[in-house]
């Protein structure tokens, strides 16, 4: 089973079962005592008052808002009829659990990212020394800090094209440090 936390109601947590098919119940209500009840997520969400829906990722927004959008047919095949699996691109940056309740276990995707990042670093260090140079760049920040300047560390080919790549690299480095200390 693969599950994603999608909502909460009072002290209960609600997960979506990514592996549910056909007429299977696709929701899991986990009580504070870690007991679980299988539910039909869409029916439950329509009838439950006080439901706090998580909308922090593409997957969550598609789950909760897709029924009224342009992608209604895809939403219907995915969440109502369960004919179609959730698109993997929607699950990027979503915590997926292998089990919930008493045996809750998160599936670790970061391990592979850390290994890939380490291989990239190893290749770069074999091809030559990493001579970084510090330079000051102007920024437009809402809160002035350091006279509106920040220090950027430029290491040639190891710069990141976007914030998501930089975040993944930092996560990988933290994971590597933890692995080395064990």
Q: Give me the tens of pLDDT residue by residue for the chain, a chain 182 residues long.
A: 888 999 999 999 999 999 888 888 999 999 999 888 999 999 998 898 889 999 999 999 999 988 887 889 999 998 888 888 888 888 888 888 887 776 666 655 555 666 677 777 766 655 544 444 444 444 444 444 444 444 444 444 556 677 787 788 888 888 777 777 65
User: How far apart, in whole angstroms, are the C-alpha atoms of residue 59 and residue 82?
Assistant: 15
Q: What is the pLDDT of residue 144?
A: 45
Q: What is the pLDDT of residue 129?
A: 46
- Residue ranges making up the domain that contains 158: 110-181
Same domain, 174 and 115: yes
Q: What is the pLDDT of residue 70?
A: 83
Same domain, 14 and 56: yes
User: How far apart, in whole angstroms, are the C-alpha atoms of residue 58 and residue 75?
Assistant: 13
Q: What are phi and psi of 39, to 5 degrees?
A: -135, 160
Instruction: Tell me if 154 sits within 8 A of 133, measured CB to CB.
Output: yes
Q: What is the pLDDT of residue 175?
A: 79
User: Half-sphere exposure of 18 toward its Cβ, with a 13 Å CA cutoff?
Assistant: 21
User: How far apart, in whole angstroms, are the C-alpha atoms of residue 93 and residue 79?
Assistant: 20
Same domain, 23 and 46: yes
Same domain, 69 and 149: no
Q: What is the pLDDT of residue 71?
A: 87
Strand partners, 97: 3, 106
Picking from 95, 93, 115, the residue whose alpha carbon sits closest to that of residue 176 is 115
User: How far apart, in whole angstroms, are the C-alpha atoms of residue 23 and residue 21?
Assistant: 6
Same domain, 10 and 96: yes
DSSP state for residue 149 in the 8-state scheme: E
Picking from 107, 95, 72, the residue whose alpha carbon sits closest to that of residue 15 is 95
Picking from 49, 29, 30, 45, the residue whose alpha carbon sits closest to that of residue 80 is 45
What total number of domains does the chain contain? 2
Instruction: Tell me if 6 sits within 8 A of 15, measured CB to CB.
Output: yes
Same domain, 48 and 101: yes
Same domain, 51 and 86: yes
Identify the domain boundary among 106, 132, 159: 106
Same domain, 86 and 119: no
């Amino acid at each position: 089973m693969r599950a994603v936390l999608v909502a909460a109601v009072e002290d209960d947590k609600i997960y979506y079962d990514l592996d549910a098919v056909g007429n299977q119940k696709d929701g899991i209500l986990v009580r504070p005592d870690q007991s679980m009840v299988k539910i039909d997520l869409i029916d439950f969400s329509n009838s439950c008052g006080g439901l706090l829906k998580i909308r922090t990722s593409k997957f969550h927004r598609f789950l909760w808002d897709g029924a009224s959008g342009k992608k209604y047919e895809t939403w219907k095949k995915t969440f109502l009829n369960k004919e179609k699996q959730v698109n993997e691109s929607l699950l990027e940056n979503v915590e997926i659990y292998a089990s919930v309740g008493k045996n809750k276990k998160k599936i670790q995707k970061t391990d592979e990212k850390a290994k890939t990042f380490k291989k990239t670093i190893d290749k770069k260090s074999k091809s030559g020394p990493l001579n970084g140079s510090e330079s000051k760049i102007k920024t437009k920040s809402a809160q002035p800090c350091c006279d509106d300047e920040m220090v950027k560390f430029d290491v040639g080919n190891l710069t990141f094209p976007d914030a998501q790549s930089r975040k993944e690299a930092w996560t990988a480095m933290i994971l590597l440090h933890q692995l080395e200390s064990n």
